[in-house]
Structure 1
Amino acid sequence: MKHLKAINKYFWKYRWRLGLGILFIIVSNYFAILAPQVTGYVFEVVQRSLGVVMKDRHHAEYDWLVNRFISFAEQYKGISVVALCGIVILVLALIRGIFMFLMRQTIIVMSRHIEFDQKNEVFQHYLKLDLNFYKTHNTGDLMSRISEDVSRVRMFTGPAIMYLINLITLIGLALYYMIKKDGLLTLYVLAPLPILAITIYVVNNIIHKKSEHIQSLLSDLTTNAQQSYSGIRVIKSFVQEDAMYGFFEKNSEDYKRSAIGLAKMEAIYFPSMTLIIGLSTIFTIMIGGIYAIYGTHNVDISTIAEFVMYINMLTFPVSAIGWTASMIQRASASQKRLNEFLDTPSAINNPAKALSPALQGHIVFNQVDFVYPNTGIQALSKFNLSIGKGQKIAIIGHTGSGKTTIAQLLLRMYDPTAGSISIDGVPISSMDLQSLRRQISYVPQDVFLFSDTIANNISFGLGETPEPVVQQAARYASVEKEIQGFHGGYATMIGERGVTLSGGQKQRISIARALIKDPQIVVFDDCLSAVDAKTEKEILGNLSLFLKEKTAIIITHRIFTLFDFDMIVVIEDGTIREMGTHNDLLSRNGYYTYLYEQQQQEREETTEEN
């Protein structure tokens, strides 16, 4: 239950709905509890009509509203009184039904509002978390928590709360009037309830543990399915459909077995509740009948009728104790899982007094060290680099040399383990995160496109953008002609992650998305690996025009001889091995020369093959 304290803020936010809901529950149960008393009075009238000698009764044990009705009904005789009582019982049921409707309109609607707010809170927190969090958590697990776990918590904030208040109110009112009627008979009738309490305590502990395990298995199952859908092309190309199905089937079997185990526990649990209620009914008839036969304890047929009705009214609330407790236990297990993420702070946060300077493009890396927290791999070591405003820099190196890390540190996807990074003399750690990232265009190595129109993918981050601006960005990225060849042009819907496009088309749309922002700083991370030589030449020519007076960092494992870089930085194992212009580096006959000659040889071999 301690985990559910996290949602108290929502109860406070919707306190008026909650308060009215509680009031409607109490009122509906109040009118429900009057029906047995009116029924008891009907039995008295029938007994008197049959000539049964009745003791004088003042009905002190009845509610004041019932006594007012009895005073009114006394002026009628025989069948008229019975008919009048029938009408009153019907009216009481109708009034109760109205308040039950209002009860659901407040409590259940409140739970839907809380579900809406909680999903937004979880999603908003997901967006704030750093990249390392996403590297150490599965997408399926994230999806399971925001959908399945939030839904289970809603069952607590809605049905569980409603049934809990309902059973407390109804049990309280029934016990009050039963004790007023006959305290000793009430004691006998309710004797099985301690057994019920012990059963609930033991079984719900088991249910709680099973629920927590089931949620974990469901998360694994969702992750398995999500990865299969995302990697369907790889699965098919390696003919691994059967293997993936077997893996999914195993996870599904584990989930099914645990879910069936929980269902069996609940299948035993709920009939047990009904059995205990049945015992109470038997005690009422047997003990009440003995009292009535011997004329003791002022018990007659009307008393037995009232108690039987009270017990039947308590059947659902008492049996719902287990159901409600089960929902609370499941909600607690789910909220615990949600709290684990909600209580996880982001490693990258805005400073207390964030700065939002207009960036010009003078970038300095000063003695930067970086170790990836999830793997412990040192990507950069004592890295120093100064990039002047408007300079075009190429960062070259083999895979794993630390090139991409430079881009991610510049965007503050991570913070350096040691050292500092500044732009225009201002440390990026003191800048507003959104302001920093808004002023830098970044084309990542792993291109991601949304399942939306091409135009919306290009203008992503800018909102409504005039079509000529979108077309101009596509022209710079050398993808305009291909887009115009699509059946819908810029309004063409692309599949999930751009699955309907080729690798080169996806890269160029990603480049267009970066260029449309027209920032002072542009970072390209190996973004031309999937385009042919002719298209590469065209794109580099366009970039030469677009990047004029802008600071550009082009990260690549290939050497671009067609682009006039102000400086080329060759890195290896997280350190700068060589630095200079293309001609300077070639004249040194060092590592850069080796990379250049190797690339030239590969091109010649490719040309000969073609």
Structure 2
Amino acid sequence: MKELKYLNKYFKKYWLKLLLGVIITIIARIFSLVMPSYVKKSIEVIEDFSADQLLEQEARGLLLEYILIILATALLSGLFTFLMRQTIINVSRYIEYDLKNEVFDHYQYLNLNFYKKNRTGDLMNRISEDINQVRLYAGPAIMYGMNALTLFACLIPLMFIKAPTIALYTIAPFPILSFLIYNISKIIHKRSTKVQEFLSRLSTFTQESFSGVAVIKAYGLEPKIHDDVETLASEGKSKSVDLAKVDAWFFPLMILLIGVSNIFVIYIGGKQYMNGEIDSIGIIAEFILYVNMLTWPVAIVGWLTSIVQRAEASQKRINEFLKEEPEIRNEVDESTPIEGKIEFRNVSFTYEDTEITALKNLSFTVHPGETVAILGKTGSGKSTVLELIARLYDVSGGEILIDDVPIKNLNLFSLREAIGTVPQDAFLFSDSISNNIKFGKNNATDEEVVTVAKNAVVHENIIGFSKQYDTVLGERGITLSGGQKQRVSIARALLKDPRIYLFDDCLSAVDTETEEEILNNLKQASQNRTTLIVSHRVSSAKNADKILVLEDGQLIQQGTHEELNAIEGYYKELYLNQLSEKEN
């Protein structure tokens, strides 16, 4: 249970509720122990009446008294059992809530490399299915475990006090039970881990299939995907059945051993009664009730073992990610204001997952309020420049300065708060269009939303929908076209009104006329704001204050449109090619 030690901090947090639950559990079990002794007394009353030692009226009075006591203690035991569930089970829900938040927060702080190495389905499974398994340990397992422990602690000594010989035979099967549980639980642990790992694979496959359903349909791959799912499901069935086969041994073994205990009670007790070693047959009835009271706690041992083993396997998977340290750390606690000057000094960067060197000794300076365009072939490092400015990655070599301060010496949240970014692959949430735009500024008014939508030239498209700005988008914004998604993403950045704009080829899916209109609006909206525009089109770059041309991560040209067009090179060639295409 070493992995489950991670939960100790939550148990300490809710120790008062847990302690109250333990006290209530003990009280509930003490009341439940009253009933068997009064059943014994009731039988003794009947025996005494049969032997003419009690009058009928006296016997009836005693029976009524004992029955009322049995009913009262049963009701009180039930009431405290209810309170026990309300305390301990509630604690498990609090722990589930805290753990899910902790895992989700940790996910958010991990760097992009983490998400390149791990699949979304696996991440989702660990925060849902795995945490649910842990919750069963933190609540029901503790509650039933404490219940069983209390019964054993109170009942077994009581049994030895009342009839040592019968008690000894009654608990004789328990060591055998312990041995079986120990061996079976090891098998359960291994098979539980395999089941949880499989569930992550299945979640990943189905999530990717649903996200890529358009591609699947376009290529007519539904039969193949169905076969793949069937193969996965068959594998999962096999693993789950293997686990169920082991689980299936528990309850039959428990019931068998409890049955053996009952036989011992009847046989040994009956023999002692006939030999005069016990003075009342009521003791046999009392012990049968004791054994049956132990049936559930003994049977639950198997279930508890299974739950603990599953929780151990799940918590181990959760801990694997919680132990992941974010590479991008906020080194400065106090906020740091951002004006917008950006300087790259011999910056080099290599992606960890692919080991591709995207930038090589890159140097340039962007002054506050300047608009700089970055052009180059695919894979030249354009997008990497923007990712480094937002500090989604840290440089492999060299240094980036913002307002003449090394980027690592800035408050990370202040830096990102000062940046409005529009990625090439615009991501929209399954929410209303209005809320997607407000993602950049939650407290924005409807008028502000409409204004930025007009600047992004997407307003006319939005009001064409039946619900206009209240239109709820499909997952990843599938309701909109590629160009519409890009323009909604631009509106989102404009609404934020940051100090630095980062546009990553965000006009690739719009026509040239719409592009020209958006660029003119952006020029007005981004006045006195530092703006970097990554593009494949000269039309997006020609009005910039400065143009940087990259090739294989190195700066090969820089200057204004007029300066670069006046000399032979990549920029002039690109301009003439695109001009020719436009004329044709």
CA displacement at 1:393 relative to structure 2: 1.0
What residue in structure 2 maps to residue 155 of structure 1? Answer: 136
What residue in structure 2 maps to residue 348 of structure 1? Answer: 328
Amino acid at match of 1:428: I
Amino acid at match of 1:301: I
Q: How far apart are the structure 2 equivalents of 1:550 and 1:401? A: 26
What residue in structure 1 maps to residue 102 of structure 2? Answer: 121
Q: How far apart are the structure 2 equivalents of 1:244 and 1:305? A: 62
Q: Is 1:540 matched up with 2:519?
A: yes
Going from structure 1 to structure 2, the CA distance change for 1:211 and 1:285 (only over 3 Å counts) comes to same
Residues 202-235 of structure 1 deviation map (CA, whole Å, 9 limit, x = unaligned): 1111111111110000011111111111111111
What residue in structure 2 maps to residue 69 of structure 1? Answer: none
CA displacement at 1:354 relative to structure 2: 3.8
Q: Is 1:312 matched up with 2:297?
A: no
Q: How far apart are the structure 2 equivalents of 1:173 and 1:359? A: 68
What residue in structure 1 maps to residue 182 of structure 2? Answer: 201
SS of residue matched to 2:566: helix
Counterpart pick for 2:207 among 226, 235, 248: 226
Q: How many residues align?
A: 584
CA displacement at 1:548 relative to structure 2: 2.4
Q: Is 1:491 matched up with 2:477?
A: no
Q: Is 1:181 matched up with 2:162?
A: yes
SS of residue matched to 1:522: strand
CA RMSD of aligned residues (A): 1.8
Going from structure 1 to structure 2, the CA distance change for 1:74 and 1:499 (only over 3 Å counts) comes to farther
Q: How far apart are the structure 1 equivalents of 2:535 and 2:25? A: 68
CA displacement at 1:263 relative to structure 2: 1.4
Conserved in 2, the CA contact under 8 Å of 1:132 and 1:373?
Answer: yes
Amino acid at match of 1:23: I
Q: How far apart are the structure 1 equivalents of 2:372 and 2:482? A: 25
CA displacement at 1:299 relative to structure 2: 5.5
What is the correspondence of 1:162-561 to structure 2 with a 5 Å cutoff? 162-296=143-277, 298=278, 300-351=280-331, 353-354=332-333, 356-560=335-539
SS of residue matched to 2:472: coil
Conserved in 1, the CA contact under 8 Å of 2:542 and 2:561?
Answer: no
Q: How far apart are the structure 2 equivalents of 1:518 and 1:248? A: 46
CA displacement at 1:74 relative to structure 2: 12
Conserved in 2, the CA contact under 8 Å of 1:540 and 1:563?
Answer: no
SS of residue matched to 1:359: coil
What residue in structure 1 maps to residue 24 of structure 2? Answer: 24
Q: How far apart are the structure 1 equivalents of 2:483 and 2:374? A: 21
Q: How far apart are the structure 2 equivalents of 1:402 and 1:140? A: 30
What is the correspondence of 1:25-104 to structure 2 with a 5 Å cutoff? 25-51=25-51, 77-104=58-85
Conserved in 2, the CA contact under 8 Å of 1:291 and 1:300?
Answer: no
Q: How far apart are the structure 1 equivalents of 2:163 and 2:196? A: 48
4+ residue stretches of structure 1 with deviation over 6 A?
73-76
Residues 395-422 of structure 1 deviation map (CA, whole Å, 9 limit, x = unaligned): 1111111111100000000000111111
Going from structure 1 to structure 2, the CA distance change for 1:74 and 1:424 (only over 3 Å counts) comes to farther
SS of residue matched to 1:588: coil
Q: How far apart are the structure 1 equivalents of 2:353 and 2:37? A: 69
Conserved in 1, the CA contact under 8 Å of 2:273 and 2:279?
Answer: yes
What residue in structure 1 maps to residue 86 of structure 2? Answer: 105
SS of residue matched to 2:538: coil
Q: How far apart are the structure 1 equivalents of 2:143 and 2:499? A: 57
CA displacement at 1:562 relative to structure 2: 7.3
Going from structure 1 to structure 2, the CA distance change for 1:299 and 1:330 (only over 3 Å counts) comes to farther
TM-score (norm 2): 0.97
Q: How far apart are the structure 2 equivalents of 1:427 and 1:299? A: 91
Q: How far apart are the structure 2 equivalents of 1:350 and 1:74? A: 87
What residue in structure 2 maps to residue 4 of structure 1? Answer: 4
Structure 2, unaligned runs of 5 or more: none
Amino acid at match of 1:252: A
CA displacement at 1:591 relative to structure 2: 2.2
Going from structure 1 to structure 2, the CA distance change for 1:550 and 1:8 (only over 3 Å counts) comes to same
Conserved in 2, the CA contact under 8 Å of 1:537 and 1:562?
Answer: no
What is the correspondence of 1:579-598 to structure 2 with a 5 Å cutoff? 579-598=558-577
SS of residue matched to 1:260: helix
Q: How far apart are the structure 2 equivalents of 1:591 and 1:527? A: 22
SS of residue matched to 2:374: strand
Conserved in 2, the CA contact under 8 Å of 1:528 and 1:536?
Answer: yes
Going from structure 1 to structure 2, the CA distance change for 1:374 and 1:76 (only over 3 Å counts) comes to farther
Q: How far apart are the structure 1 equivalents of 2:284 and 2:557? A: 99
Q: How far apart are the structure 1 equivalents of 2:61 and 2:440? A: 77
Q: How far apart are the structure 2 equivalents of 1:184 and 1:492? A: 77
Amino acid at match of 2:126: R
Going from structure 1 to structure 2, the CA distance change for 1:400 and 1:76 (only over 3 Å counts) comes to farther
TM-score (norm 1): 0.93
Q: How far apart are the structure 1 equivalents of 2:552 and 2:522? A: 29
SS of residue matched to 1:516: helix
CA displacement at 1:76 relative to structure 2: 7.3
Residues 7-49 of structure 1 deviation map (CA, whole Å, 9 limit, x = unaligned): 1121122122111111111011101111111111222222222
Conserved in 2, the CA contact under 8 Å of 1:439 and 1:520?
Answer: yes
Structure 1, unaligned runs of 5 or more: 54-72
Amino acid at match of 1:191: A
Going from structure 1 to structure 2, the CA distance change for 1:52 and 1:489 (only over 3 Å counts) comes to same
Please say which of residues 109-118 and 172-181 is displaced more in the overlay. Answer: 109-118
SS of residue matched to 2:344: strand
Conserved in 1, the CA contact under 8 Å of 2:113 and 2:353?
Answer: yes
Percent identity reads 46
CA displacement at 1:597 relative to structure 2: 3.0
CA displacement at 1:190 relative to structure 2: 1.1
Residues 89-133 of structure 1 deviation map (CA, whole Å, 9 limit, x = unaligned): 111111100100111111111111111111111111111111111
Amino acid at match of 2:28: S
Q: How far apart are the structure 1 equivalents of 2:110 and 2:57? A: 75
CA displacement at 1:561 relative to structure 2: 6.5
Residues 257-294 of structure 1 deviation map (CA, whole Å, 9 limit, x = unaligned): 11122112212221111101110111111111111111
Conserved in 1, the CA contact under 8 Å of 2:419 and 2:500?
Answer: yes
Amino acid at match of 2:46: V
